[in-house]
Structure 1
Amino acid sequence: MSFDIPDDRRYLESHEWALEDDGTVRVGISDFAQDELGDVVFVELPDTGDELSRDEEFGVIESIKAVSDLYAPVSGEVTAVNESLFDTPELVNEDPFGEGWMLELEADDTAELDELLSADEYEDQIA
């Protein structure tokens, strides 16, 4: 099976993705992760203004199959959460790299992204 793995992002081994744009890092879960979870029924996210540390648990995603923790790819302040997911969690399944994003962080140090997996490395991990 082939999964969408955009090469403009970095990935965590725990299947979150990070897309940096001018110091703001948008975070979601990968196509592989949403496929493994099955139908997403609930997403718990932090509050805007919360401070997160890299690799810190920031929320929970629940599907018909499992409940999984979500982890921050970088340290920083939460500047936005995707409130659409509270009413429409299935957006994570339908568009994990677009409308299904989870949060945005103002990164303390974008160099932390360099320590995450590239698209190719992530593809090797899930193969």
Structure 2
Amino acid sequence: MRTVVENLKIALDLLQTHGLGQSALYDPYTGCYCSVGAIYAARTGKRGMAVTSYDEIRHEQQAFVDTPESDAVRQAMAETGLLTEPFEGSSHIDVYLTNDSVAEPTSIYAAFTRAIEHAQTAA
């Protein structure tokens, strides 16, 4: 089992390599992941369409809902001003909705980098 730091690094690499997607965990047309989709992919080792399939993810909610990784990214988003107030109170929802509200992917990458730094300090 990988650490939170390792999963966040994998998720950030997926975002930077494939691009930041919006409105879907994984976009099969562009090959992009959203923030939560990248976290899910990092935690499970799944890639591509396996990330976007509801039938796949609903049985693995522990890898999807309010994970330590999404908690760390939500905190970093709040610290960088991307998340001004929680939308739903659930970290994965806050990260998902913030992901869809940004115009510049680099701000999301910066939040992941900050989350990695915090997780490294906590470890």
Q: TM-score, normalised by structure 2?
A: 0.33
Structure holding more helix per residue? 2
Q: TM-score, normalised by structure 1?
A: 0.32
Bigger relative CO (Cα 8 Å, ≥ 6 apart):
1
Structure holding more strand per residue? 1
